[in-house]
Amino acid sequence: MIAKTVQKLQAIELRKKGLSYSEILKTIHVSHSSLSLWLHSMKLSKSQELRLKNKGDWARKTGSVAIHEQRVLRTNLIIKKAISEIKKIDKNDLMLIGITLYWAEGNKQKEHNPSTEVVFSNSDPSMIKLYLKWLEKCLGVQQDRLVFEIYIHRSHHKTIKDLTGFWSEVTGFPVSKFDRVYFKKNKIHSFRKNRGPNYSGVLRIWVRRSTDLNRKIQGWTQGICFQSGAASQNRL
């Protein structure tokens, strides 16, 4: 009982100095409930309240930073391991990758418009590079058949020189190939996330004289569905 009384008096003295409950518990080894019972009626000065508030804000900030760093580290480890699981990609692999890539992002043949040519649009530089490699290595498309168009919202305030220089560097094609740049009117209410300073619009790649090639891609897509069991041949 005497020990409890001594601990209570010590706790009161520490609280008068403006220490937080967690700081007091590091010195006095009692339960949090006992400490709350002893100190609940004590008032702190404005400066002491401000100190504890700033200390709490700092702890929360440093805690969130630590959590973020742990997540980044974990993410990097997962990505590094996943990269090692992908072995060398041969031409057949690239062929299938390109077909599914076009299936997801390319213009399709429609019943009302069966003469659509091969057109692919995306803002991801890595995806653009992969698509161009597919056209060259697997489909044998000559460079002189490619037409490039850049689309970007006016709100980005990037110059034509900035845009053409960026996509020229990404694709390896001369700047002169990027003479079609279109600035779209910006929507006031937009949920787009890719509007930062590193965004350089969407690159549209059109292959001239490619109607039959688009039809062939459609057939390859259906063949993948059939061979994978995703669809029966009767439904294709």
pLDDT at 101: 97
In a domain, 227, yes or no: yes
Asked whether the predicted pLDDT for residue 30 surpasses 90, the reply is no
pLDDT in tens, 98-116: 999 999 999 987 777 778 9
Residues 105 and 185 in one domain: yes
Asked whether the predicted pLDDT for residue 2 surpasses 80, the reply is no
Residues 134 and 54 in one domain: no
Asked whether the predicted pLDDT for residue 135 surpasses 90, the reply is yes
Q: Report DSSP letters for the chain, one per residue.
A: -HHHHHHHHHHHHHHHTT--HHHHHHHS---HHHHHHHHTT----HHHHHHHHHHHHHHHHHHHHHHHHHHHHHHHHHHHHHHHH-----HHHHHHHHHHHHHHHB----SS-TT---EEEES-HHHHHHHHHHHHHTT---GGGEEEEEEEEGGG---HHHHHHHHHHHH---GGG---EEEEPPPSS---S--STT---EEEEEETT-HHHHHHHHHHHHHHHHHHTSS-GGG-
Count of structural domains within the chain: 2
**Length of the chain as a residue count:** 236
In a domain, 47, yes or no: yes
Residues 177 and 113 in one domain: yes
In a domain, 73, yes or no: no
Residues 107 and 195 in one domain: yes
Residues 52 and 95 in one domain: no
pLDDT at 115: 81
pLDDT in tens, 148-166: 999 998 877 788 999 999 9
Residues 108 and 215 in one domain: yes
Name the residue with higher pLDDT: 39 or 131.
131
Residues 95 and 203 in one domain: yes
Residues 97 and 58 in one domain: no
Name the residue with higher pLDDT: 22 or 117.
117
Residues 38 and 136 in one domain: no
- In percent, how much of the chain has pLDDT > 90? 52
Residues 17 and 131 in one domain: no
Report, in angstroms and rounded to the nearest whole number, the Rg of the chain calculated over CA atoms: 32
Q: Are 205 and 139 in contact (CB under 8 A)?
A: no
Average pLDDT in the 182-205 region?
73
Question: Full-prediction pTM beyond 0.75?
Answer: no
Name the residue with higher pLDDT: 84 or 233.
84
Asked whether the predicted pLDDT for residue 55 surpasses 70, the reply is yes
Residues 24 and 95 in one domain: no
pLDDT at 44: 80
| Domain extent at residue 25 | 2-62
Asked whether the predicted pLDDT for residue 223 surpasses 90, the reply is yes
